[in-house]
Structure formats: structure tokens, C-alpha cells
Structure 1
Amino acid sequence: MDYSIARRLMVEQQVVRRGVRDPLVLEAMLRVPRHLFVEEALWSQAYGDFPLPIGEKQTISQPFMVAFMTEAMCLRGGEKILEIGTGSGYQAAILSQIVSRVFTVERVPSLARRARRILDSVGCRNVNIKLTDGTCGWEEEAPFDAIIVTAGSPDIPHYYLKQLALDGRLIIPVGSRGSQVLKRVVRIGEDKFSEENLLDCRFVPLIGKYGWKEEEI
């Protein structure tokens, strides 16, 4: 299978056709070998328009959602980004092609180790991974120009708002365990934030002190 052709078709048919236009996002999607972020048995499905399992009850998001959320961050290059939920490492790899530094947190050790290995293998040297409760963010490295959350939360953890830089953007799915609304929150003042709904979505639950409790899942 020619994965470069598969990537081009993925971008043309699943991303551009559905409205994503940011050239930085499209170029990153074309460069990153998505199939390497799933098990080899799933390589032939890696460029399909659907999420795929990565173990530990987690998934790699469908290509369109990765592209849409990345574009929603309004990146111009050179930013410092926080990702909540490393998972496969694919979203972090896409971000690493655009921004200066990516800080990503993961609560599952096996996923963090696997993501680190794959990110290193594809040359993503500007990605830092921390094993911790993602609902607390990464306070030591704050503030961030943007924060992206790749799991559904019952509400917006206050730590994310505190760790946004002025004019920083937070992209987060908020709602029930089975259905959420993707929101963009922008810090417009010390204690002022604007909020807008972007689209309906469905993500795995955000588990942690300020998200869903493990026993609730």
C-alpha cells in the first residue's frame, strides 16, 4: 500500500472536502504517517474516515476531527501548546509540525510509552510527554497559547482556563459521556473568557480529578 497516496486522498476527501482550509494544518496532515500510530494490523484502515482503537479503551480520532480541532486553535506557527490526552501521539505529531513546542499529558503509562517511541521514530523532537492527571493541566509550563483536549469532559476544568495565555484558545469537548459539543474558549482578559460551540462530537471520557471518575465509566 502506498501510504503517501493514502494520506493525500485522506486530506482531499475527508479534510478539505469538509471545510478545513488552513494550509499549515493540511501540510502537517500530509507529512505525518498516520498508520504508524496504530497497530500494524490496522495500517490498511489508518486513513479511513473513522476513529480506531489503540488499546486501554482509547482511540485515535478520525482524521477530520484531528484537522478540525487543529484548525480551530488558529495557529500561526511558533506557539506553545498543551494537549490533554496523548493517546496514540498522532495529534501531538500534527501539532509538532506547526508549533514550536508541544506539551502533552497522558494518564495511561503504556500509551505514554508507546507514543514516546513512535514520536521519536518519526522525528517529533519538540514534543514533551508527562504521565499525570490531565484534568490538572501542566502548571509548571503554563501559560499556553492554546490547549486542546482530546477527551470529553462533563464541564471545563478550571485549571485549563488558568493556564491559558491572554488571547489563548482552549478547544474542548463538553457534555455527557456519550455525546459532547466541541467548544472554543478564548481568554480575553485576566478573568474574562469568550465561548462558542463549534460542532457536535463524541469522544472517550476525560478521566481525572476534575473530569469523570474512573468508577463512573
Structure 2
Amino acid sequence: MQPRRPGFPARLDGWAAPRPAAAQPAASTPQGVGLDSAAVRARMVQRLAAGGIRARAVLQAMGQVPRHQFVDSALANQAYEDTSLPIGLAQTISKPSVVARMAELLLGAECAQAAGLGRVLEIGTGCGYQAAVLAGFAREVYSIERLRALHEKARENLRPLRLHNLHLLLGDGMLGYARGAPYAAIIAAAGGDALPPAWCEQLAIGGRLVAPMAGPGGRQVLLVVDRTAQGLTQTVLESVHFVPLKSGIA
């Protein structure tokens, strides 16, 4: 008998298991009013597309997830603006454009298929928003958070969405999660001075890792690491600003 997987089974209303992008319904059909309106998210998706995001699966996932449910009610009216917002404990929810950009980079992995990605590891669950987006185009998502209070907050935020392919873990993200490896993709929501060795070890051949990392002068840059049969290749992209990567559980 296989050990029971961590996390909880879930499901987003009207959204079953991820399907090939071509088979998914468009996310731009306006419905309802206010922050719950699909039209509000559709406008955000239109801005993302205008800003250069091309991956249909990413745009559809961004259009499905209600970002306002992942921020404090006092900030809900800013949820669909392209800005990062505080979520407590000196942590933030990333800008929609940054979430979409990193997600699209993951889909560039050699092992990515038309239906999306296989198993994905997210380092830094935070409030759970990015994990929900990833669950829209990955077969399975393992998301690990080191801060117990945020881990519990993410569980509460995600429970109504009932995403059956998402598993939440409380643990040291710098160690990754060996039990779920190898991963088709690994994504980090915090930046350090160097990549933890465990991340590269747990990345599948043909897989891709996307993470912020300290660059020249200490400024953060977006780093893409591809694992091939010959080894690892690194590509440095634009400057970014993420919270510091830390070890341990708190």
C-alpha cells in the first residue's frame, strides 16, 4: 500500500481535473458583478496578455482563481491590480504579472506537454494563490511552507476551491520534498544567495526550475535552471523582488 499523500483533496466549482488547454473553456466570459465577477478577472487576464503572457493554460488558470479571496478583506479592492500585497508575517502575495510570468516559464520545460505539466513543487505556499494557479495546469502540485501560520491560512483560503490535485506541506522549503520527486517543475517564491542543492537533485531530467536569486550587486534576478541528461543549464532573466529565502520551520 502506498503512503497517503499529504494535503487535502479539493475541487474548484465548475473546474474538474486539469485538461489540455485547447479543451478548456475560455476564461473571459463575463458573469456576475463585483469582485466575484468573472469579468473582473477577465480584465486582469486581458492586461496580462497585453503585457506579453501568451500561454493559454496560464491565462485560463489566472482567470479561474479568485485572487481577492487570498488577501485581507481590507485589500480586496486591490486584488486584481498588478501589485504585490501584504499577507502577514512580513510576506507578500506576488503581482499577477509575476505569477503569470513564472508560470509561463515553467511551461517552457522540456518535459512539458500540451496538457500542461506533470508534478510540480512550489517552495513557499504563502497565502496559497500561486498554488491554486499552478493546480490549473499541472497534474499534481506539492506546495511547502515553513511558517505554520501561513500554512494554516493557505489551507483555509484553498479549502473552498477544492483542488483535488494540490497537496499542502508544512516544512523547510530549502530541503524540497524528496518523497514527491522527481518534479517536472520547481518554482520558488523566495530568493537566496544560492540554489539549495536539494532542489536541483529533485528536478527531473527535462524539468525546469524557476526561482529568484541574488545577482550582481546583491539585486535579485529571475533564474531559470533546466536539467538535461548532460547536467544543469542556467539562464538569468530580469530583475525581481521577493522575500528572502530562509530555512527551518517557524
- TM-score, length-scaled by structure 1: 0.91
- The counterpart of 2:211, out of the listed 156, 172, 176, is 172
Residue matched to 1:89:
128
Please say if 1:144 is aligned against 2:177: no
Query: Residue 222 of structure 2: SS of its match in structure 1?
Result: strand
* CA distance in structure 2 between the aligned counterparts of 1:24 and 1:178, rounded to whole angstroms: 34
Deviations 1:156-205 (A, max 9, x none): 11110000000110001000697311011000126x11111121100000
Shift of 1:41: 1.3
CA contact (8 A) 2:128 2:158 kept: yes
Shift of 1:123: 1.8
Structure-to-structure mapping, 1:63-102, within 5 angstroms: 63-74=96-107, 75-76=112-113, 77-102=116-141
- TM-score, length-scaled by structure 2: 0.79
CA contact (8 A) 2:41 2:80 kept: yes
CA contact (8 A) 1:170 1:186 kept: yes
Please say if 1:184 is aligned against 2:218: no
Q: 1:85 to 1:178 in 2, by over 3 A?
A: farther
Shift of 1:125: 2.2
Structure 1 gap segments, 5+ residues each: none
Residue matched to 2:83:
50
* CA distance in structure 2 between the aligned counterparts of 1:5 and 1:89, rounded to whole angstroms: 22
Please say if 1:24 is aligned against 2:63: no
Residue matched to 1:7:
41
Q: Larger relative CO (CA 8 A, sep 6+): 1 or 2?
A: 2
Residue matched to 1:36:
69
Q: 1:102 to 1:64 in 2, by over 3 A?
A: same
Structure 2 gap segments, 5+ residues each: 1-33
Q: 1:178 to 1:92 in 2, by over 3 A?
A: farther
Residue matched to 2:17:
none
Deviations 1:34-61 (A, max 9, x none): 1001111111010111100000100000
* CA distance in structure 1 between the aligned counterparts of 2:83 and 2:244, rounded to whole angstroms: 18
CA contact (8 A) 1:178 1:202 kept: no
* CA distance in structure 2 between the aligned counterparts of 1:67 and 1:193, rounded to whole angstroms: 24
CA contact (8 A) 2:61 2:137 kept: yes
Please say if 1:153 is aligned against 2:192: yes
1:12 partner amino acid: Q
CA contact (8 A) 2:117 2:184 kept: no
CA contact (8 A) 1:119 1:125 kept: no
Root-mean-square deviation over aligned CA pairs: 1.7
CA contact (8 A) 1:173 1:180 kept: yes
Query: Residue 40 of structure 2: SS of its match in structure 1?
Result: helix
Residue matched to 2:232:
193
